[in-house]
């Protein structure tokens, strides 16, 4: 599915299509509607740059105890 924004909407927002996608990705990530991977993909940014944008906007990473435990299990398997 493609998201189409009219030039009129972009003009009203005074934003480029890329800026709108970044805003949408950030908002959906902050609302726990998109994973980090899907959000940075939607924003069209690499992992590092999207993390930097979120940090600059005060949007914390979604990392809970369950994810920490999964990472620890994975690290034990690798070690």
Helix 17-30 vs helix 36-43: crossing angle, to nearest 10: 170
Tokens of 35: 């994973």
pLDDT, tens digit only, all 79 positions of the chain = 677 888 898 899 999 999 999 999 999 999 999 999 999 999 999 999 999 999 999 999 888 788 788 888 888 877 6
pTM: 0.76
Q: What is the pLDDT at residue 68?
A: 83
Domain ranges in the chain are 13-78
Q: Rounded CA gap, 46 and 25, in Å? A: 13
Residue 66: what pLDDT? 82
């Amino acid at each position: 599915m493609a998201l189409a924004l009219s030039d009129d909407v972009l003009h009203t927002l005074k934003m480029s299509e890329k800026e709108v996608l970044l805003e949408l990705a950030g908002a959906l990530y902050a609302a726990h509607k998109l994973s980090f991977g899907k959000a940075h993909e939607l924003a069209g940014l690499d992992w590092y740059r999207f993390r930097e944008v979120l940090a600059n906007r005060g949007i914390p990473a979604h990392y809970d105890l369950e994810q920490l435990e999964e990472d620890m299990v994975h690290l034990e398997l690798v070690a």
